[in-house]
Chain A
Amino acid sequence: MYSLSELDTISKRASRAAGFSWGISEEIGKAIRNLELFGLPGIKNLSLYLKKIKKNHPEKIKKLEKENKSKELCPIYCGVAFLDQCNLLEKLKIIKFYNVHYPLLILPFISKSSEILGKKLLIQYNDTSFLANFNKSILLKNIDTQICHLTSEIRIEILENNNSFSEQDWKELYKLSEETFVDETESLRSKGAGAGLTDND
């Protein structure tokens, strides 16, 4: 299983390779790490989204408003703008984003905002609702009733520490992350650390 630290690093580098600034890429690394920590498929969603925008980088959000409309909105730029200005939500009560790609990717930013605001936040899209809980967890709110008086069985099963993504998802993201690396020319190699010296003593 990949460690959270590896997920953070590769997500950050891949995001940089896909055209995000270093500062935003750092946010993405932490965000994906949190999604995976909370058991949500961050790597898979990021990998697909970065592939989608690789050739055509999304537009940035210019102003955060009650209703943010565009033909296409980027979950990362929306998420970071929301995180940076989450205090607005206290005034506006509800903020909406329309036509957001891979909406799961906005969740970790809302979750962090919940911690900053000290309030639980409810996120809804399609038929799914999530509860951001002071960045301690993100709950999928699909419980029909609050109280269950009797259940015939409670089953608890240990789950192995498996990745939430396939090896192929990881390879694709890793390949993208490699685009932040510099192919070493002969000249670079000859001047690099340890070049020209033997360290075999």
Chain B
Amino acid sequence: MSELNIKFRDPNEIMKLSRLGSFHQSKLSFLRSFIREFKNWDYKIDLFDLDKNGYGTAIYSFSKNKRSYSLICFAQHIDENERSDRVIATKWDAAFVLHDGIPTKDDINRLKENVPKQEVGRVSYKELTLSRANRSVRAFDHVVNSLSAGKQPDKILLNKVGYLYRTTAVYGSGKFGLADRFRIKDRKEIYGPFRLEMMLVYLVRQFTFDQVNYIAKCRDYKKAVQLDAKIARNLGIGNSTGLGMAPFIVNHPTLLHQWIYCREKALKEIRSIEEVNNNDLNIFKDCLSKSKVSVNSWLTDSKYQNSKINSLKSDLIKFDQYLEKECSAKIKYLWNEIYKWSEKNLKEECLEYIVSMMMEPYDEIIDPLINNMSSEEDEYFTIPAHKKVSDLKIILENNYKSIIKINFEAKDNTTNFWFISKNKEEPRIANRYEETGAELEQPLAIARDIKKLYEKIILAKQSSTIGEFLLFNDDVRHVVRRAFIIDEFQYSEIQDNTIGATLIPIDMLRLKLSFFGAVKFDPRSDKWLRINMYQGAPLSNELKNSNDTWVYNVIN
């Protein structure tokens, strides 16, 4: 027990959108925990039935102790003008589905009929995750042309792009008839969140390498060379992410809490270490130094992101000087000192970067937290309606301090509304004073509705039960539920206004993507961004001997 008694960071500070939008990947990230869990599983290519253009079917699997997961890949021809990596596109270069077990011929035929068909296709309880992807116009043909001519592709171009394929959403949990989570949730290997989504992306990445090698060989059997492993390792899978992720973090409050809580718990435990050994300090320094190469190769046209990257770069220089001059393993509670200095001297972007880096030396702290990053959400759904109105008033005053001060009479604080578009069934945001449709607003204006609840609560009879209160106030029922959740899970709520004029929706996306382990955030507007996943990750034949710091591998 540390004599310092380090406290958890205040949700009122951490759960602000600008802070959440400054989070970076860490040892807790799902891509990394997936590789740690599955590196010792048997990896196999079970089928590779492509034609000379790379179209056809391939199956990849991970197996261990009589359990198998199989990725079935369907690659097809599409015209150039049909290619768009938006989730709303209707045709894709490839579609992928993760099947539970080894698929039979009937399964493959059934899936071939459905998976490439997008929204109208149906899958079954035997399938776990699903995604679609497009080739990178900039990189794919260049790589195939180079390899078939016996040359390695241009590294500078590949560094700019970073991937051969971009996926769109990776679906799971019942979408399109996929297995409901409850069917598989007790499997130990998938205790960590989004494990099967991460598995799908990892195997898709391997497929992209096998596909370019195969097409190149078909083109010129004699001349063709294999894609250099070093180059392949530095390629990930691109992903375009729009507003769909934003409602996710609002709609899953206990899950959001678990993610942030684990990060905060890790930080608290690390800051509480009294004697920091030289080896651990060196791991931190080493990861920090390698990671800077990645920061320097982080390219985007976004002004918003560029200013964040520049702030990170200049703060990292400041931090380096501090680290060199003032830090040594002889200092008691060194991590706490580093944290306090960073909090005082660095902007949010770099502060959270350093927090991620501080986790690197500590497997023994991080590993036990990974399995706590899921949530049995249904357990917290029921409102404790026997409680009193006075109890709820205290909860609101304690947990929504800044939110209940917002003036929602001001137009600027209610500018936007969230809706689902009829055309594509995707979440969108629009200006309620300029566009039609605000009467169909989704329940994502949590701050505004909490304030409305608070105004009702202070006028209500304090000794009434919540059940009695709700008989006449069911319009705020959805936020009553949330208030009781936050009472138990302090990091379950974004402590900001999600409909204000100054909202930057991509902050919400980046929060989720950082937990996924994505890097190279590249906002294409304030409403969607591109990212890269698994860049630097071990290839399938390197998994067994890989180490967890692959994310810092130097990008050539």
Residue numbers of A with Cβ under 8 A of B are 1-6, 21-24, 26-27, 30, 60-64, 80-81, 83-85, 87, 112, 116, 161, 178-185, 187-189, 191-197, 199-201
Contacts and interface: CB of A to CB of B under 8 A. Distances in A.
B292 interface: no
Contacts of A27: 477
Interface string B171-201: 0011101111110000000000000000000
Nearest to B443: A22
Contacts of B435: 185, 187-188
Interface in B431-452: 431, 434-437, 440, 442-443
B86 interface: yes
B480 A23 contact: yes
A184 B386 contact: no
Given A112-B382, A201-B136, A184 B423 contact: yes
A122 B179 CA distance: 33
A11 to B, nearest CB: 13
Name, among B419, B471, B478, the residue most crowded by chain A CB atoms within 10 Å (CB to CB): B471
A165 to B, nearest CB: 15
A194 B428 contact: no
A21 B478 contact: yes
B430 A188 contact: yes
B468 interface: yes
B146 interface: no
A27 B474 CA distance: 11
A180 B386 contact: no
Nearest to B238: A201
B428 A197 contact: no
Contacts of A1: 124-125, 177
B338 to A, nearest CB: 38
B378 interface: yes
B106 to A, nearest CB: 14
A197 B137 CA distance: 15
Interface string B140-173: 0000000000000000000001000010000001
A130 B493 CA distance: 39
Contact of A62 (B138, B173, B419, B471): B471
B382 A6 contact: no
B264 interface: no
A30 B440 contact: no
B440 A24 contact: no
